[in-house]
Amino acid sequence: MDKNTLDKKQMTFPVRLGLLVAATAGALTMVPHIVDTRGQTHEIRVVAKNMTYYADGVADPNPPIRLVPGEQVRITFRNEDRGMAHDFGIPAFGVGTGIVDYGTEKSFVFKVPDGGSPATYICTPHSAMMSGSILFAK
Ligand SMILES: [Cu+2]
Protein backbone atom coordinates (compact mmCIF):
# COMPACT_ATOMS: atom_id res chain seq x y z
CA MET A 1 0.00 0.00 0.00
CA ASP A 2 1.61 3.32 -1.02
CA LYS A 3 1.09 6.61 0.76
CA ASN A 4 -1.39 7.91 -1.82
CA THR A 5 -3.82 5.02 -1.20
CA LEU A 6 -3.66 5.50 2.56
CA ASP A 7 -4.57 9.20 2.25
CA LYS A 8 -7.65 8.35 0.18
CA LYS A 9 -8.88 5.91 2.83
CA GLN A 10 -8.53 8.50 5.55
CA MET A 11 -10.61 10.97 3.54
CA THR A 12 -13.63 8.70 3.11
CA PHE A 13 -14.78 8.47 6.73
CA PRO A 14 -15.65 12.19 7.23
CA VAL A 15 -17.40 12.23 3.85
CA ARG A 16 -19.54 9.22 4.79
CA LEU A 17 -20.35 10.74 8.18
CA GLY A 18 -21.42 13.97 6.47
CA LEU A 19 -23.78 12.09 4.17
CA LEU A 20 -25.28 10.22 7.15
CA VAL A 21 -25.93 13.50 9.03
CA ALA A 22 -27.54 15.03 5.92
CA ALA A 23 -29.78 11.97 5.43
CA THR A 24 -30.87 12.01 9.09
CA ALA A 25 -31.72 15.72 8.95
CA GLY A 26 -33.74 15.10 5.79
CA ALA A 27 -35.77 12.37 7.47
CA LEU A 28 -36.61 14.63 10.42
CA THR A 29 -37.88 17.47 8.23
CA MET A 30 -40.33 15.04 6.60
CA VAL A 31 -42.31 14.66 9.87
CA PRO A 32 -42.45 18.23 11.27
CA HIS A 33 -45.81 17.76 12.99
CA ILE A 34 -44.65 14.73 14.93
CA VAL A 35 -41.10 15.69 15.84
CA ASP A 36 -40.09 19.35 15.91
CA THR A 37 -36.48 19.39 17.09
CA ARG A 38 -36.25 23.20 16.93
CA GLY A 39 -38.75 23.97 19.70
CA GLN A 40 -38.89 23.26 23.39
CA THR A 41 -40.87 20.24 24.45
CA HIS A 42 -43.43 20.49 27.25
CA GLU A 43 -42.78 17.41 29.40
CA ILE A 44 -45.71 15.93 31.30
CA ARG A 45 -45.50 12.86 33.52
CA VAL A 46 -48.63 10.88 34.33
CA VAL A 47 -48.82 7.94 36.75
CA ALA A 48 -51.66 5.45 37.27
CA LYS A 49 -52.31 4.20 40.82
CA ASN A 50 -55.48 2.60 42.24
CA MET A 51 -57.43 3.07 38.99
CA THR A 52 -56.64 6.80 39.03
CA TYR A 53 -54.36 9.16 37.09
CA TYR A 54 -51.95 11.52 38.81
CA ALA A 55 -50.10 14.14 36.76
CA ASP A 56 -46.79 15.89 37.44
CA GLY A 57 -46.79 14.99 41.13
CA VAL A 58 -50.07 16.82 41.81
CA ALA A 59 -52.10 15.10 44.56
CA ASP A 60 -55.48 15.67 42.85
CA PRO A 61 -56.90 12.59 41.12
CA ASN A 62 -57.44 12.78 37.34
CA PRO A 63 -56.37 16.47 37.24
CA PRO A 64 -56.99 18.75 34.26
CA ILE A 65 -53.96 18.96 31.97
CA ARG A 66 -53.31 22.40 30.49
CA LEU A 67 -51.72 22.67 27.04
CA VAL A 68 -50.78 25.55 24.76
CA PRO A 69 -52.01 25.36 21.14
CA GLY A 70 -49.07 24.82 18.79
CA GLU A 71 -46.66 23.59 21.45
CA GLN A 72 -44.86 20.26 21.27
CA VAL A 73 -45.67 17.95 24.17
CA ARG A 74 -44.16 14.71 25.39
CA ILE A 75 -46.42 12.72 27.72
CA THR A 76 -44.78 9.91 29.64
CA PHE A 77 -47.26 7.54 31.25
CA ARG A 78 -46.18 5.12 33.99
CA ASN A 79 -48.36 2.30 35.28
CA GLU A 80 -47.90 1.73 39.03
CA ASP A 81 -51.15 -0.18 39.43
CA ARG A 82 -50.15 -3.75 40.26
CA GLY A 83 -52.05 -6.37 38.32
CA MET A 84 -53.74 -3.83 36.01
CA ALA A 85 -53.06 -2.91 32.40
CA HIS A 86 -53.77 0.75 31.57
CA ASP A 87 -53.17 3.13 28.73
CA PHE A 88 -53.22 6.91 28.39
CA GLY A 89 -54.75 8.46 25.31
CA ILE A 90 -56.31 11.63 23.95
CA PRO A 91 -58.77 10.31 21.34
CA ALA A 92 -59.61 13.79 19.99
CA PHE A 93 -55.95 14.19 18.95
CA GLY A 94 -55.52 10.58 17.83
CA VAL A 95 -52.57 10.01 20.21
CA GLY A 96 -51.86 7.64 23.07
CA THR A 97 -49.51 5.07 24.58
CA GLY A 98 -51.30 1.84 23.88
CA ILE A 99 -51.42 -0.64 26.76
CA VAL A 100 -48.74 -0.11 29.43
CA ASP A 101 -48.06 -3.04 31.75
CA TYR A 102 -47.51 -2.68 35.49
CA GLY A 103 -44.10 -1.28 36.41
CA THR A 104 -43.37 0.12 32.95
CA GLU A 105 -43.86 3.40 31.10
CA LYS A 106 -44.28 4.68 27.55
CA SER A 107 -43.99 8.13 25.98
CA PHE A 108 -45.46 9.83 22.96
CA VAL A 109 -44.78 13.20 21.38
CA PHE A 110 -47.31 15.33 19.56
CA LYS A 111 -48.06 18.90 18.56
CA VAL A 112 -51.09 20.47 20.24
CA PRO A 113 -53.60 21.48 17.54
CA ASP A 114 -54.26 25.17 16.98
CA GLY A 115 -57.77 26.29 17.78
CA GLY A 116 -58.58 23.05 19.54
CA SER A 117 -61.67 22.69 21.67
CA PRO A 118 -61.44 21.16 25.17
CA ALA A 119 -60.74 17.43 24.99
CA THR A 120 -60.60 14.44 27.31
CA TYR A 121 -57.81 12.06 28.22
CA ILE A 122 -58.81 8.52 29.04
CA CYS A 123 -57.72 5.01 29.86
CA THR A 124 -59.41 3.02 27.09
CA PRO A 125 -60.39 -0.04 29.21
CA HIS A 126 -61.46 2.05 32.26
CA SER A 127 -62.72 5.35 30.86
CA ALA A 128 -65.54 5.53 33.43
CA MET A 129 -63.03 5.85 36.29
CA MET A 130 -59.89 7.07 34.56
CA SER A 131 -60.45 10.25 32.58
CA GLY A 132 -59.75 13.96 32.84
CA SER A 133 -59.88 17.22 30.95
CA ILE A 134 -57.42 18.67 28.47
CA LEU A 135 -57.71 22.47 28.75
CA PHE A 136 -56.08 25.08 26.53
CA ALA A 137 -54.05 27.96 27.89
CA LYS A 138 -54.85 31.22 26.11
CU1 LIG B 1 -57.01 1.69 32.99
For 54-72, write each residue's pLDDT tens digit.
998 788 999 999 999 999 9
What's the 94 CA to ligand 1 centre distance in angstroms?
18
Give the Cα separation of 44 and 75 in Å (integer): 5
- Is the domain of 93 the same as that of 57? yes
Q: pLDDT tier at 39 (50, 70, 90 boundaries)? A: low
Give the chain's largest Cα–Cα span.
76
- pLDDT (mean) for 66-87: 96
For the chain, how many structural domains are there in total? 2
Domain range enclosing 102 = 41-136
Å from CA of 26 to ligand 1 middle: 38
Same domain for 57 and 11: no
Say how many Å lie between the CA of residue 43 and the centre of ligand 1.
22
Same domain, 85 and 18: no
Asked if residues 54 and 122 have their Cβ atoms less than 8 Å apart, the reply is no
User: Residue 6: which residues within 8 A CB-CB, separation 6 or more?
Assistant: none
Residue 56 covered by a domain: yes
Q: What is the pTM of this model?
A: 0.71
Specify whether 77 is located in the same domain as 122: yes
